[in-house]
Amino acid sequence: MEYVAPNSLDKAAEIAANARGSVRYLAGGTDVLVQLRSGLHQPSLVIDLKRIPGMLDVVRTADGGWKIGAATPATTLNAIKELRQSWPGIVEAAELIGSTQIQGRASLAGNLCNGSPAADTVPAMLAAGATVTIVGANAERKTLSIDDIVKAPGQTHLKPRDIVASINLPARSQKGADAYLRFIPRTEMDIAVVGCAVNMSLDGETVSEASVALGAVAPTVVLVPEAAECLLGTRLEDEAMENLSMSCRAACNPIDDKRGTVEFRISIAGVLAQRAARTAYQRARERQ
C-alpha cells in the first residue's frame, strides 16, 4: 500500500486517474482504518484529502448557505454557533457519531460515502436538501443531491474515482428548522436501530414545507415524501401526527438483527418521526 497526500483537488483527481490498483480516499479514516485493519478493503493506494486547501473549512456562502469541506470533522461543525442555529438537526446528527475521539475525525462526506443505511448524518442531510460537489476523473466538477448518491448497503452511486469536495447546505428560510433523533439501546457509542430527520419551514404557525428521512429501516437511508405530505398545511395536530407515523411505518423495510426486530424498528420509526417533527416545529417557532 502507498500513501499520498496531494495539496489540490485536481492533483488528487489526477493521481487517482493514473493509479493502477484499488484507490481509497481518506478523510477522517474512522471507517477506512477499521476496514483496512479488518482486511475488508486492502487498497494499493490511499489518497489523504486533508492536505487539500478548503477540505477542513466551513464557509458561509453568499446566498446564506454553507459549504462544508469534505474532510471537516464533526467537532468543527459542533463548534460553529451559526451553523447550529441554521441546521441544528445536521449538527446534532454529527454529535451522535461514535465518541469524542471519533468525532474529532469523522466527516459528513465520509459518513455519506461509506454507504451505511444506519449512517447518522445522512437522513439529516437528505431532509435538509443538501447537495454534494464532486470532482470527477478528468477534474470536471458536478453537483449532485444526496439522494443521487445513496445506493445500497456499503455502496454509493459515486464513480470509483469521484472525489467529494464539499457538502453544501442551502440557506435556511426565515422560519425553518430541522431535527434528528435516533434510537439505540445504550445512551452513546452504538449504531442506530432507527434514525429519523425532519426538516420544515413555517408560514405563521402552519407547516409550509417539509421533508422527512429515515435511517436504518431499509437497505438505504430513505426520503419519505408521503410522510412530509402529512405535515403540510398543519400545525402538527393529532391527526397529522398519526398520519405521519403511519406513512413512516409504511416506508420501512427493515431487517431483524440483534439490535432490533422488524416489528420494533417499524414501530419506533413512527415514534421518532413524531418526536423529530415536534422538535423541528418547536425550533422553527422559536426562530421567528
Partner 1 sequence: MKMMHVTTSINGDPTEFLCDPRETMLDVLRDRLNLTGAKEGCGTGDCGACSIILGGEVICACLMLAAEAEGQDIETVEGMANDENLHPLQKKFLEHAALQCGICTPGILVAAKALLEKTNNPTETEVRYWLAGNLCRCTGYDKIVRAVMDAAEEMRSL
Binding interface with partner 1 (CB under 8 A): 1-3, 5, 26, 28-30, 33-34, 36-38, 46, 48, 50, 73, 75, 98-102, 104-105, 187-189
| 120 lines the binding site for ligand FAD (CB under 6 A) | yes
8 Å CB contact between 47 and 25: yes
Q: Based on CB atoms, which residue is closest to partner 1, 26 or 231?
A: 26
Per rule CB under 6 A, count of chain residues that contact ligand FAD: 28
| 125 lines the binding site for ligand FAD (CB under 6 A) | no
> For residue 275, which of 212, 209, 226 has the smallest C-alpha distance?
212
Sheet-wide strand order for 222-223? 176-183, 194-203, 206-215, 222-223
How far is residue 68's CA from residue 73's CA, in Å, rounded to a whole number?
10
| 105 lines the binding site for ligand FAD (CB under 6 A) | yes
Is the alpha carbon torsion for 125, 126, 129, 133 positive or negative?
positive
According to CB under 6 A, which one of 97, 150, 221, 272 is a site residue for ligand FAD? 97
Distance between first and last Cα of the chain: 54
CB-based closest residue to ligand FAD: 110
Query: What does the per-residue mask of binding to ligand FAD show for 39-58, with x meaning CB under 6 A?
Result: ----------x---------
Q: Based on CB atoms, which residue is closest to partner 1, 97 or 198?
A: 97
| Phi, psi at 271, each rounded to 5° | -70, -45
The site for ligand FAD (CB under 6 A) is made up of: 24-32, 34, 49, 70, 96-98, 102, 105-107, 109-111, 113-114, 119-120, 163-164
